[in-house]
Amino acid sequence: MKFLGFFVSLILYVNFDDMKFYWFLYLVFLLFSCHSKDRKDVTMDDLSKPSIHYRLNVKKQLVKSPKSRAYDSISFFSKKLADSLGITKNQIHRLNNLLFPDRFNPIKSDKWYGITANDSFVYKHWMYVDSNVAENTFYNWLDNFGDKHLSLKFGDKMRVSPNAFVLLLQHRSVLFLESKNQLNKNRILSLIDTLGFGSTWKFVLFQNKGTKTEWFEKFNITSKNENRKS
């Protein structure tokens, strides 16, 4: 509106002899140019991105939700694990996004994370129709693992994640547990066994926070690091 008022005033002021008319056209062109530069082109990428305000609200809802129904939707084993780790039901949140192992048609999955004052613990479990599908999922995931989509070979020694994690392959199941803190491998495996999941693991990939990966095979957790990388 300010621009329109200025434009009308300019028309009333100018006497349209030849020289002033040319100056008038020049000023009009200059004003339109400045006005168009002030506009910002909006791309499809901008439209698809959630606003900062929206992201902050979502984060607050996740962390500060007074009552969570997520706890009721997780498996009985998950509830026992959360209780053993000191994660309360109001700190449990479901992970509903599809991940790499979901591409292999699991017959059952259980994915959640718990936020406490000291930790962010993640639990993911996929069960498949038979051991062949579970093993195929495991090896395909190793070929495209983590946020960096690394290709891991059994025995590789590298730092895959800034967090501690353990990846387990059982008869028909693939489990992934992650923590922003240190994980005690023997304690977490013993806890899973004690709670009733079992201890017959085909393969175990373990990495503690700030260290490199360790590989183990079979139920007796024998170290297997022939193809070591420094």
Residues 94 and 173 in one domain: yes
Pair 78, 58: CB distance under 8 Å = no
- Asked whether residue 49 is domain-assigned, the answer is no
Number of domains in the chain: 2
- Asked whether residue 94 is domain-assigned, the answer is yes
- Asked whether residue 50 is domain-assigned, the answer is no
- Asked whether residue 54 is domain-assigned, the answer is no
pLDDT at 46: 34
- Asked whether residue 88 is domain-assigned, the answer is yes
- Asked whether residue 60 is domain-assigned, the answer is no
Pair 221, 201: CB distance under 8 Å = yes
Pair 93, 114: CB distance under 8 Å = yes
pLDDT at 8: 46
- Asked whether residue 186 is domain-assigned, the answer is yes
Residue-wise pLDDT tens for the chain (230 aa)?
Answer: 544 455 445 454 555 455 555 565 555 555 555 544 444 343 333 333 333 332 333 344 444 333 458 999 999 999 999 999 999 999 999 998 899 999 999 999 999 999 988 889 999 999 999 999 999 999 999 999 988 889 999 889 999 999 999 999 999 999 999 999 999 999 999 999 999 988 788 999 999 999 999 998 865 544 444 333 32
Residues 143 and 195 in one domain: yes
Residues 77 and 34 in one domain: no
Residues 27 and 118 in one domain: no
pLDDT at 147: 82
- Asked whether residue 181 is domain-assigned, the answer is yes
- State the residue range of the domain holding 31: 2-38
CA dihedral 170, 173, 178, 182 (to 10 degrees): -20
Residues 28 and 133 in one domain: no
pLDDT at 170: 92
Residues 11 and 122 in one domain: no
154-157 contact pairs (CB < 8 A, 24+): 154/203, 154/215, 154/224, 154/227, 155/215, 155/224, 155/225, 155/226, 155/227, 155/228, 156/213, 156/215, 156/227, 156/229, 157/212, 157/213, 157/214, 157/225, 157/228, 157/229, 157/230
Residues 106 and 167 in one domain: yes
